Amino acid sequence: MKKALILSTALTAVAFSAAAEQITVMSWGGAYTTSQVEAFHKPFTAETGIGVVSVDADNPATPLKAMVEANNVSVDVVDVNTSDAVRLCDEGQLEEIDPAMLPPAPDGTPATEDFLPGALSECAVGNIVYSMIVAYDESKFPDEKPQTIADFFDTSKFPGKRAMWKSAKTTLEMALMGDGVPAAEVYDVLDTQEGVERAFAKLASIKGDLIWWEAGAQPVQLLADGEVAMTTAYNGRIFAAAVSENKPFVPIWDGQVYEYDLFVIPKGAPNLEAAKKFVAFATGTQPLADQAKWISYGPARKSSAPLVGLYQDGQTEMAPHMPTAEANLTNALPSSYEFWVDHDTELEERFNAWLAN
C-alpha cells in the first residue's frame, strides 16, 4: 500500500515536472472549481506550459490569512469573495495587482473600463458575478406565479414553507426589499437603527414558515424534496437543477443580491510571476466567457457578455441566465462589502439572538 503510494506520488511528480513550472490555485470546490479548471487552468497550461494544481477550501480566505501570518504561503492564486478581498488587502496580506497588466478587451477598451464597477480593486481581479436569488417550485403554484421578492414574504397569497440562508448577510437586505425598499436605498436604510428593526420585523412576519439552511447545497434539496415551496439560493445551483436535472424550479431575479468572486495573490506567493500571468490570463475576455459554459455565473467583464455561448449540454443559451443579464438587473442589489465589513459582527450577533427568541 505504502509502496504503491510512494510510487504513485513519484509518477505524478514526474508527470508534473514535465511542465517546467507549476502554480497552485485555491478555490471553493465542487462544480465551481470544475468550471475554473475547464475554462482557466487547462487553457492556461496549454498556452504557457505552466501546470496548475487545484486546491479547495470551505472559505479560502481563512487558510490564506493563516498562511500569510505564519509566513508559510503554499498557494499562488486564491479565489475569495469581495469583503474578504477588501479586508485582506487593507490588512496588507495581498500582493497588489496592477490593472495595466490585465489584457484589454478585444476592441481595445482598457481593462479598467472593461470590468464591471467594483470588480477591480488594488489587490483583486473579479472573475464571476454570483447571486443570491429567490426560486420557487412551479408545480406548487399552478395558477398565479410569484413574480417579486415581495411575494416571497407573502405567505397568504402564495402559501407554503420558505427557506432562507441562516446568516444576516443577504437575508436582511432581501427582507428590506421584500418590504418595498428599492435596491438602491437598501444599505442607507439598513445603516439606521429603524432600518434594522424593519428588516427583522419583515422576517418575523413569516418566521413560523421559515426553514433556515446552512450549506449552499441544502436549498435545492429542500425544493426537490417538496419541503419548501420557495427558497433563497445561489443562482448557479437553481440553474443546474432546472436545466441539467429538469426540475420545475424558476428563479425570481427581482431583488437578487449579487456579489463578485475575485482572484487575489497572497503576499509571499511562491511563484509570483506565474501567478500574475495566470490572473491576467484567466480574467481575459474569452476565458471568462468560456466559464459560463460550465456554470451560470456571470463574467465580470463587459466584453465577455456577448461571447457567452451555450451551456455544456450544447442547447441552452446561457446569456439570459446570467445575474448580469440586462433583464435580470431591474431591481438588483450589489452586495456592499463596505457595509458588511463594518457591521458583520454586530448584525450577525443580533441575527443569532433574534433566531433564538
Site for other proteins in 136-175 (CB under 8 A): 166
Report, in Å, the least distance between residue 305 CB and other proteins: 23
Q: How far is the CB of 158 from other proteins (least distance, A)?
A: 18
Pick the closer one to other proteins by CB: 71 or 327.
Answer: 71
Burial code (b: 16+ CB inside 10 Å, e: under 16) for 252-284 equals bbbbbbbbbbbbbbbbebebeebbbbbbbbbbb
Based on the shown chain and the rule CB under 8 A, indicate whether residue 24 belongs to the binding site for other proteins.
Answer: yes
- C-beta of 75 vs 111, nearer to other proteins: 75
Strand partners, 94: 266
Least distance between other proteins and beta carbon 200 (Å): 9
Binding flag, residue 270, other proteins (CB under 8 A)? no
* Candidate ranges 137-145, 176-184, 237-245, 300-308; the one touching other proteins (CB under 8 A): 237-245
Burial track 225-241 (b if 16+ CB lie within 10 A, e otherwise) = eeebbbbbbbbbbbbbb
Per-residue binder mask for other proteins (CB under 8 A), 190-209, x = binder:
-x---------------x--
Number of residues that bind other proteins (CB under 8 A): 78
Q: Which of residues 330-349 bind other proteins (CB under 8 A)?
A: 338, 341-346, 348-349
Candidate list 236, 266, 284, 298; residue touching other proteins; CB under 8 A: 236
d(C-alpha 291, C-alpha 261), whole Å: 13
Judged by CB under 8 A, which of 38, 48, 55, 325 binds other proteins? 55
Q: For CA atoms 233, 237, 239, 242, give the dihedral sign.
A: negative
Calpha distance 164→235 (Å, rounded):
14
Alpha helices (H) in the chain, listed in sequence order: 2-17, 30-36, 42-48, 61-69, 82-90, 111-114, 149-152, 171-178, 186-190, 193-204, 218-224, 235-243, 272-282, 285-291, 337-356
Pair type for strands 210-213 and 21-27: unpaired
Which range, of 60-68, 105-113, 171-179, 320-328, touches other proteins by CB under 8 A?
A: 60-68
Q: How far is it, in rounded angstroms, from Cα 194 to Cα 311? A: 44
What part of residues 83-122 is at the interface with other proteins (CB under 8 A)? 84, 86-87, 89-92
DSSP-derived pairing of the beta strands 50-56 and 21-27: parallel
Which part of the chain contacts other proteins (CB under 8 A), choosing from 111-119, 131-139, 229-237, 274-282?
Answer: 229-237
**225 scored as a contact of other proteins (CB under 8 A):** yes
